[in-house]
Amino acid sequence: MKRTISRKVLFLMLTLFTAFAIQAQEKGDMAAGLNLSYGTKSGYSNFGVGAKFQYSFTDALRIEPSATYFFKKDYVSMWDINVNLHYLFHVADKFSFYPLAGVSLLGAKADLGDGWEEFGVKASASETKFGANLGAGAQYWLTESFALALEIKYQLVSNYDRPVFTLGAAYKF
């Protein structure tokens, strides 16, 4: 009898501790952060830096608008603005996994530099296109307020389809 009560008390204490210690998002939680990204496709691959904002509608659903600038490589620079929804699965204390889906606005600019006009070649061109994002990520809370995330998404954008790998950090306020 005494052993059963002790086990019940221990189970209750562990349950309460887990409920307060888990780093689940709650309705209204907000975070801001920075990202390092790498987008790749045959013909163009480049690194980028970006910023993001996260708002939690519930403990499992959040929205993340973000913007990334991809550095110029082989005459091409790119940028994107994304709005993604994350559905968080809190698989362990401080660790979450999430599938994501969203929309993307992507801009690309090719600039060949000076000296090409004499050959009848336009020195630069740019275009902007809408698309969709599908992917997944994982997030680990180092402290109550600071998290690291690893994410891969596939951007479905006409002529610019490509996977984008991202390492991010966020601060919850």
Q: What digits encode the pLDDT tens for the residues 20-67?
A: 434 456 788 999 999 999 999 877 789 999 999 999 999 999 999 999
Distance of CA 91 to the CA centre of its chain: 18
Residue 1 clears pLDDT 60, i.e. is over it:
no
Mean pLDDT of the chain: 87
The string of pLDDT tens digits covering residues 138-170 is 999 999 999 999 999 999 998 889 999 999 999
Six-digit token pair at 159?
């002529």
The per-residue pLDDT for 19 is 43
Whether residue 16 is predicted with pLDDT greater than 80 in this model: the reply is no
* Cβ burial, residue 115 (10 Å; 0-12/13-18/19+): exposed
Query: CATH for 27-172, among 1.10.3720.10, 2.40.160.20, 3.40.50.80, 3.30.460.80?
Result: 2.40.160.20
How far, in Å, CA of 91 to CA of 105, rounded?
Answer: 32
> For the chain, what is the total number of helices (H) and then of strands (E)?
1, 9
